[in-house]
Chains A and B, each alone.
Chain A
Amino acid sequence: MFDVIVIGGGVVGGLILRELTKYHLNVCLLEKASDVSMGASKANSGIVHAGFDATPNSNKAKFNVLGNEMMEKVTGELGVKFRRNGSLVVAFSAEEIETLKELKARGEQNGVSGLEIISQERLREMEKNISDEALGALYAPTGGIVCPYELTIAAIGNAMDNGAKLETEFEVVKIVKNEECFVLSSSKGKTIEGKIVINAAGLQSGKIAALAGDSGIEIKGRKGEYILLDRESGDFVSHTLFFTPTKLGKGILVTQTEDGNILLGPTAEELENAGTDTSAQGLAFVIEKARKMCKNPPLFNTITSFAGVRAYSSKGDFIIEESKTVKGLIHCAGIESPGLTAAPAIAKFVVETLVGGSLRLIKNENFNGARTPDYFFKNLSTEEKNAIIARDPSYGKIVCRCEQITEGEILRAIRANPPARDIDGVKRRTRSGMGRCQGGFCQPYIAELIAKERGVSLEQVTKCGDGSELIMGVTK
């Protein structure tokens, strides 16, 4: 029996899992997909928010500011790239300038440091491609960028290195609570037992709560579509550019990503059923807004478009609490933006306060929080590279030419925690296939590496789990 079971392999569940391994606890993460970081943590803006946006004293405000402060430490330990590139909320009218002042005051109340309203002149100095119509901006130097799936995978991998167990393709369909523990059953008939269950199931967290007998969590999905530009245009903007928020929300943003691409989006479309299709209207809207924010966005350098679904609660705030009706069930639900930023602080609070409220926490002296990133070779010195190639010649073979990723890194991603099992899993970990050719050159080779490492035939290799096999037969 596990001490704690976490449901949901997103950034919140992942960081909670890692936090749990800092103590002598037997813990397990359940994920319904074939890999971790497959929900909202796969496809969002990757922004570490400064914290001026949330309503003072809300969970969002509290965990946002705390999480922002923790980001250096957690990403540093996990080998995840993170940079405070600074955020700019851009105003296009006198009225919006007034809103910026309100935002600044709100941010200061939330404890955000360094906020400043800057002039049109200074804005133009900071962002050479900003629209001529932009009148000024709120500058938040603590705003940053991080890759959401890189952080999630690293957190779960590090937790596994420290003894946590991961069960993928475990879709919880039944939860029974008996005297001692919860018994969770999967759609494939597996069962697992745990004393405490943490509900970090994103879009499914309302359903998970209901399965456990708590009908008080209401979760909806909001779809956001994005367009990603080639690293070649990576210097188009350097800060994260937001429109001034309106009653309709934060609107789309234009930002550099931590990997040096330019990201445009997201749209915000209310959804009854989760779906991550992009639409012609959605992408056109993103383009229209990007053109309003900046002069001549280099759309000719588009390399892909995608969509993600953010889960939000009907209460408008994060729900981070023990269930009022089911003891031992802890909810982390409705974690929409700024959830990525807040996740390290949520994890700490959930483990120390909520889990600590029912279980005795004894420090695990053997906990090692460090993890080598899945891709790292490109940034080494020639001497370091040659030392590695001398030990392992597979690092001398470039497989993904666009991102310069070596065979050694791909093999490592297939073998390391949490193991990549399919093409998308390798892609999220190593960036191979994420460049301008979108895997056109390297996919067949990576498929062969996966087949060989996992001892399966090429026909069994998938893009993203069962049903997404790459090929449909042999020709002779």
Chain B
Amino acid sequence: MKKNYDIVIIGGGPAGLAAAVAAYDNGVKDILILEREERLGGILNQCIHNGFGLTRFKESLSGPEYAARFIDEVQKRQIEVCTQTTVLALSKEKQVTVINSAQGVFTVQAKSVVLAMGCRERSRGALNVAGSRPAGIYSAGTAQKYVNIKGYLPGKRVVILGSGDIGLIMARRMTLEGAKVLAVCEIMPYSSGLKRNIAQCLDDFGIPLYLSHTITKIEGEKRVTGVVVSKVDENKRPIAGTEMHFDCDTVLFSVGLIPENELTKMAGIELSPKTRGAVVYQNRETDTDGVFACGNVLQVHDLVDFVSEEAEIAGKAAAQYVLNGAKVREEISVNTGNNISYVLPQKIDRNAGGQVKLFFRVTNTFKNCTITATSGGEVIAKRKKRIAVPGEMETLLLTEKTLAGINDEIVVSLEVDE
């Protein structure tokens, strides 16, 4: 195997695949994709439900179908892929140390690196849910792997904590495969999942969704035997006297995703505490020249279609970096104002030209509100929303013309209309 590549892409999921294709199509052919699993596609392989690709392909695909479209493109271009290979270390100098069974441990030198490692689920442990620690407690994604990839049913009577999309999807999957889902509990007063998933995954099967509720105790010595669910107040504290008991053998946690940035950290790349991903320019370049990040390792997306879109930006930029080298930048920072939890990119290079789409999330549910981007006291972009929720990523477009006229920091904020 070669020891030098123009571009090394870490991760062969949707982000890595799209980045590879975009890099190739922008003039760099010497690309290596590193994937730890046996096959390409990442988490899409276990997302066998439909609904992927509506934005990009105008049709409703299953996860494996969506992945296959990109895998086909990668194969057509004969881009080199190394599966069952885990990256152990990444340096600021773009040395990638990997391990696999066939070649052992070795280091590859890249001119450019694209980080596309995806994210992981928050676990039960991270929430300090009280009670026992028996068998039958799974993150929704682990249960999904057991059901969809291995063909096993992790449990028969299920309570789900968290109404993220994976949890909702698993409520339906477990029900169809023969389990009884007793309840989905959500600590927030709103669901972080898509509305259509509440309709088709819960309502279709008569599964109750308890908003402003959480699991306050898990019971069972060897296997889960039940949970206590309590209503919470506005500070998310359980209210005494509101306890409900469910006899169940399984608890699934769908309580958020965290970008997997251990390698990013190892390379000393600046991370944002808000996104828990790298701080990037609009071309998805990190503070380290030639290292790019895209997909859920950068920010947790709602839809894979947006992951692909972002990965194409990063892949193209990686190719440009390899062909043209580092650029002299003129930097404007982008920051969060009122009611915005994060905004990405965090930095805009004015010299790059072109338009920039800002991605961000709001901190709460707002009705009839206006989202604005301001710079130097002037509104440079705005959008009215009938409803804005944290579960849906928002965008604002800054045109090339707008960007040419500003010199100060850009602030994105949301105000409720009078």
Q: Closest residue of chain B to A299, judged by CB?
A: B128
Known: A302-B125, A390-B104, A463-B134. A440 touches B139 (CB 8 A): yes
Q: Report the minimum CB–CB distance from B166 to chain A (whole Å).
A: 11
In the complex formed, the residue of B with least CB distance to A475 is B177
> What is the minimal beta-carbon distance from A26 to any residue of chain B, in angstroms?
34
Q: Does B86 have its Cβ within 8 Å of any Cβ on chain A?
A: yes
Q: A396-B100, A464-B222 in contact; A440/B123 too (CB < 8 A)?
A: yes
Chain B contact-residue range equals 35 or more
Q: Given A398-B99, A458-B152, A278 and B130 touching (CB < 8 A)? A: yes
A279-337 interface (Cβ within 8 A of B): 279-280, 282-283, 302-306
Once bound together, how far apart are the Cα atoms of A6 and B135, in whole Å?
29
Q: Could you list 13 examples of A-B contacts with CB < 8 Å?
A: A277-B131, A280-B130, A385-B99, A397-B86, A397-B100, A404-B88, A436-B123, A438-B124, A440-B139, A458-B152, A465-B222, A467-B221, A470-B154
Known: A396-B100, A475-B151, A475-B178. A278 touches B120 (CB 8 A): no
Evaluate contact between B146 and A471: CB separation under 8 angstroms.
Answer: yes
Q: Answer yes or no: B126 CB below 8 A from chain A CBs.
A: yes
CB-based contact A385/B130 at 8 Å: no
Q: Which residues on the B side are within 8 Å of A385 (C-beta)?
A: 99, 104-105
* Given known contacts A304-B123, A386-B105, A471-B153, A440 and B141 CB-to-CB distance under 8 angstroms: yes
Q: Mark B79-94, 1 if CB is under 8 A from A, else 0.
A: 0000010101000000
B63: chain A residues within 8 A (beta carbon):
none
* Residue interface bits B248-275, CB-to-A below 8 A is 1, else 0: 0110000000100010010000000000
Residues on B facing A (Cβ under 8 Å): 36, 84, 86, 88, 99-105, 120-121, 123-128, 130-135, 138-139, 141-142, 145-147, 149-156, 177-178, 216-217, 221-223, 238, 249-250, 258, 262, 265
Least CB distance, B170 to chain A, in whole angstroms:
13
Report which residue of A386, A404, A444, A469 has the largest number of chain B beta carbons within 10 angstroms of its beta carbon: A444
Instruction: State the CA gap A474–B154 with chains docked (Å).
Output: 9
Chain A's closest residue to B222 (CB) is A467
Contact status B154-A437, CB under 8 Å: no
* A116 to B178 alpha-carbon distance, docked (Å): 65
Chain B residue with Cβ nearest A387: B104
Give the docked Cα–Cα distance between A227 and B141 (Å).
24
Q: Which residues of A contact B265 (CB under 8 A)?
A: 232
* In contact, B222 and A474 (Cβ under 8 angstroms): no
A437–B36 contact, CB under 8 A? Answer: no
* Beta-carbon contact of B152 and A396 below 8 Å: no
A443/B142 contact (C-beta < 8 A), A396-B100, A469-B135, A470-B135 known: yes
User: Given A444-B142, A464-B222, are A459 and B123 also a contact pair (CB < 8 Å)?
Assistant: no
Query: Is A142 at the interface (CB under 8 A from chain B)?
Result: no
Contact partner of A471 among B84, B154, B217, CB < 8 A? Answer: B154
Is there an interface contact between A302 and B128, defined as CB atoms closer than 8 Å? yes
What residue in chain A is nearest B86 (Cβ atoms)?
A: A398
Nearest CB of chain B from residue A99's CB, rounded to whole Å: 32
Is A396's CB under 8 angstroms from B222's CB? no
Closest Cβ neighbor of A406 among chain B residues: B99
Instruction: Provide the residues of chain A in CB contact with B156, threshold 8 Å.
Output: 472-473
- A439 CA / B138 CA spacing, docked (Å): 9
List residues of chain B with CB within 8 A of the CB of A469: 135, 223
User: Nearest chain A CB to B262's CB is how many angstroms away?
Assistant: 8
Contact bitstring A384-401, B, C-beta under 8 A = 1, else 0: 011001100111111001
Tell me if A368 counts as interface (CB < 8 A to partner B).
no
A382 within 8 A of B: yes
The residues of B that contact A280 with a CB separation of less than 8 Å are 130, 216-217, 238
Give Cα A415–Cα B202 distance, bound, in whole angstroms.
45
| Chain B contacts for A282, CB-based, 8 A | 130
Closest to A441 in B: B120
Query: Given A280-B238, A465-B222, A467-B223 in contact, is the A393-B153 Cβ separation under 8 Å?
Result: no
Residue with the highest number of chain B CB atoms closer than 10 Å, among A303, A304, A390 = A304
Q: Is the interface of B mostly helix, strand, loop or mixed?
A: mixed
Q: Are A382 and B125 in contact (CB under 8 A)?
A: no
A283 pairs with B145, CB closer than 8 A: no
Q: Are B152 and A463 in contact (CB under 8 A)?
A: no
Q: Is B101's CB under 8 angstroms from A396's CB?
A: yes
Which residues does chain A contribute within 8 Å of B127, judged by CB atoms? 302
In the complex, chain A residues whose CB is within 8 Å of the CB of B88: 398, 404
Q: Which residue of A lies closest to B156 (CB)?
A: A472
Beta-carbon nearest neighbor of B145 in chain A: A444
How far, in whole Å, are A130 and B204 apart by their CA atoms in the complex? 54
Contact (Cβ within 8 A) A283 B222: no
Question: Among the listed A386, A436, A464, A472, which residue makes an inter-chain contact with B154, where contact means beta carbons less than 8 Å apart?
Answer: A472
Chain A residues whose CB sits within 8 angstroms of the CB of B131 once the complex forms: 277-278
Partner of B101, one of A382, A393, A440: A393
The CA-CA distance from A303 to B127 in the complex, in Å, is 8
Let me know if B84 and A279 touch, CB within 8 A. no
A278 to B133 Cα, complex, angstroms: 9
B155-A277 in contact (CB<8A): no
Asked whether any CB of chain B lies closer than 8 Å to the CB of A466, the reply is: yes
A441 to B146, CA, bound (A): 11
Taking the closest CB of chain B, its distance from the CB of A42, in whole angstroms, is 11
Q: Which residues of A contact B222 (CB under 8 A)?
A: 463-468
A353 within 8 A of B: no
Q: Does A462 contact B (CB under 8 A)?
A: yes
What chain A residues lie within 8 Å of B221 (beta carbons)? 467
Given the known inter-chain contacts A276-B132, A280-B216, please indicate yes or no for A302 contacting B126, CB distance below 8 A.
yes
A188 at the interface (CB under 8 A from B): no
Q: A463–B154 Cα gap in the complex (Å)? A: 12
Chain A residues near B223: list those with CB within 8 A.
467-469
Residues of B within 8 A of A465 (CB): 222
CB pair B146 A444 closer than 8 Å: yes
Binary interface profile of A, 416-435, with partner B (CB < 8 Å = 1, else 0)? Answer: 00000000000000000000
B96: min CB distance to chain A, Å: 14
Question: Closest CB-CB distance, A415 to chain B, in whole Å?
Answer: 18
Question: Which of B36, B103, B104, B151 contacts A474, CB < 8 Å?
Answer: B151
CA distance A402 to B105 in the complex (A): 18
Complex-state Cα separation, A206 to B205, whole angstroms:
53
Contact yes or no, B150 A458, CB < 8 A = yes
State whether A474 and B132 are in contact (beta carbons under 8 Å apart), knowing that A280-B238, A303-B125, A304-B123 are contacts in the complex.
no
Q: Which residues of A contact B84 (CB under 8 A)?
A: 397
Tell me, yes or no, whether A476 is within 8 Å of chain B by CB: yes
Contact A401 B86 (CB under 8 A): yes
Contact of A437 among B120, B149, B155, B249 (CB under 8 A): B120
- Is A283 within 8 A of B130, CB to CB? yes
Chain B residues near A305: list those with CB within 8 A: 125, 128
- Is A227's CB under 8 angstroms from B128's CB? yes
A302: which B residues are within 8 A, CB to CB? 125-128
Asked whether, in the complex, the Cβ of A304 is within 8 Å of the Cβ of B125, the reply is yes
Q: How far is the CB of B320 from chain A (nearest CB, A)?
A: 31
User: Would you call A283 and B128 a contact (CB within 8 A)?
Assistant: yes
B121–A386 touching, CB < 8 Å:
no
Q: CA–CA, A232 to B276, complex, Å?
A: 13
- Given A302-B125, A468-B134: A389 and B120 interface contact (C-beta under 8 Å): no
Cα distance A439–B178 when bound, in Å? 25
Contact A468 B130 (CB under 8 A): no
- Nearest-CB distance from B81 to chain A (Å)? 17
Tell me whether A472 and B130 are in contact in the complex, defined as CB-CB below 8 angstroms, given that A303-B125, A385-B104, A440-B120 are known contacts: no
A232 to chain B, nearest CB (A): 8
Q: Are A459 and B130 in contact (CB under 8 A)?
A: no
Report how far A303 CA is from B126 CA in the complex, Å. Answer: 5
- Minimum-distance CB pairs A-B, first 5: A304-B125, A396-B101, A467-B222, A393-B101, A463-B135
